[in-house]
Amino acid sequence: MASLVEKLIPYKNDTLSGLTVALALVPEAVAFAFVAHVDPLVGLYAAFFVGLITSLIGGRPGMISGATGALAVVMVSLVVEHGVEYLFATVVLMGILQVLAGVFKLGKFIRMVPHPVMLGFVNGLAIVIFLAQLGQFGVKDQAGWAQGTFLEGSVIDVAWMPQDQLLLMLGLVFLTMGIIFALPKLTKAIPSSLAAIVAVSFIVIGLGLDTKTVGDVAKIGGGLPSFHIPMVPFNLETFQIILPYAVILAAIGLIESLLTLSLIDEITQTRGQSNKECVGQGVANVVTGFFSGMGGCAMIGQSMINIRSGGRTRLSGITAAVALLIFILFASTLIEAIPLAALVGVMFMVVIATFEWSSFRIIKKIPKADAFVLILVSAVTVFTDLAIAVVVGVIVSALVFAWEHAKHIQVSRKTNADGWTVYEVNGPLFFGAITDFLDQFDVKNDSPDVIVEFKNSRVFDHSGIEAIDTLAERYTSENKVLHLRHLSPECKELLIKAKGLVESNKLEDPTYHVADDRLA
């Protein structure tokens, strides 16, 4: 019996985590639908289809996908100028482009995004998630959400609630955050976020407190989504209209999804498959477009809720999507009764967990160029969008890298006490350095045993792997034994001719990712 319970524990964690995520998906999907100027159900259907399909066939178990703000802001002008049917057609084309990106194995290039860009992306997105919640503290009049004058046109351009209502909502937000913080110290039997939502909901309903609920934002009840071919003219003019939007949406969707994948890889110490995720995202968006959904991509906020709540397998994402559909069909009145303060509290805790607070500590210790890239990407993410931020960050990082590494890779040669030739490699080994790397080895005049030390080097791409294989082939042809030291486990897995020549040292060998199709 005990063994059966132990086997069921992972499924319990994933199921409860998925339920928590589903509750958090509702206001987000509705809010992003409003941003895109479409009906709330268009956002909810997108969250269901994209979340379900990516969980089933995507490349990163535990990652949550759905309708996102990064995509919604691009969709606005298309919907306003041409109507929602053009949006559905665009989402289908967007999905096709993402599938092609996966088929042609373009997902591996996300591994080339520098770490400062990743930190900037995470910090910027945490700020965006935080600012997006501030709109929930606004009031609603007969014409819709009333607009204020503070930072006009920004995400916090809202007319704030009256003081008593504002204080009540803030109190409930802090209560939610307190439960999420304290509960894991007492028990981890249920996700703290789910417990906080349920507890705060019971308090509000039991005491009859007058505070905003999900139902004040939108009515989420509806029927099953039905197959629907976008009602647009199938001609060249339509293609010319939707293609630019589809390209931008596909790029933003993949960048956000693959960066979120990399982030979860680091947190869980596992590895997702980026090319498979591209295909999964693409198939999900093609299907969504044919079922009247606004499309979507990975959601860092909900993914963090899932990971922090114990969700690790595909079951958590499947549960979240199915639970969301059940809410739409059968439990809309119950979900509409949930106080928004509880969901805002959950998202605030996500912000705290997502933001890389260590960046404040290390910013004075890292190179000034890296610090500049980190701050730049954070700012551009907040004030424009994710795709532009990442492109800007990568370009700046590439320029810095080219400047700092104008001198090619250095290989020093010496002889140890045993008479063996020892080469110490210094600098990055990538496509631009392989020729100079190979030219610095004297194969014919080296000792029968040769050590190549990579402790001060990193192999960045497939070209670097090929260079090491080529080196092994040259020494083998001279009947000499090559000893490769301090290569990462991924390098060892990717090597073919030199695979058996790598000497493993679990305590000293570095761990880093290599951009290669076989691991993507």
Strands 140-141, 144-145: pairing kind: antiparallel
| Cβ partners under 8 Å of residue 520, min gap 6 | 105, 107, 108, 111, 273, 274, 275, 276
Identity of residue 86: Y
The rounded distance, in Å, linking the Cα atoms of 55 and 198 is 26
DSSP count for the chain of H helices, then E strands? 20, 9
User: What's the angle, vertex CA 370, arms to CA 364 and CA 373, rounded to 5?
Assistant: 115
The rounded distance, in Å, linking the Cα atoms of 345 and 340 is 9
Which residue segments constitute the domains of the chain, with CATH numbers given?
2-126+146-217+228-354 (no CATH), 410-519 (3.30.750.24)
The rounded distance, in Å, linking the Cα atoms of 73 and 385 is 9
**pLDDT by position in tens, the chain (length 520):** 445 445 555 688 899 999 989 988 887 787 678 778 888 899 999 999 999 999 999 999 999 999 987 788 789 889 989 999 999 999 999 999 999 999 999 887 777 778 888 888 888 878 877 887 787 787 644 334 344 434 444 445 556 788 888 899 999 999 999 998 998 888 877 778 888 988 999 999 999 998 888 888 777 778 888 999 999 999 999 999 999 999 989 988 998 899 899 889 988 888 899 999 999 999 999 999 999 999 999 998 889 889 988 888 999 999 999 999 998 899 888 888 889 898 888 888 878 887 888 888 888 888 888 899 999 988 988 887 767 888 888 888 877 876 666 466 889 999 999 999 999 999 888 887 888 899 999 999 999 999 999 999 989 888 899 999 999 999 999 999 999 999 999 898 899 988 888 988 888 888 888 877 777 6
* φ/ψ of residue 429, rounded to 5: -105, 105
Q: Are 20 and 305 a contacting pair, CB within 8 Å?
A: yes
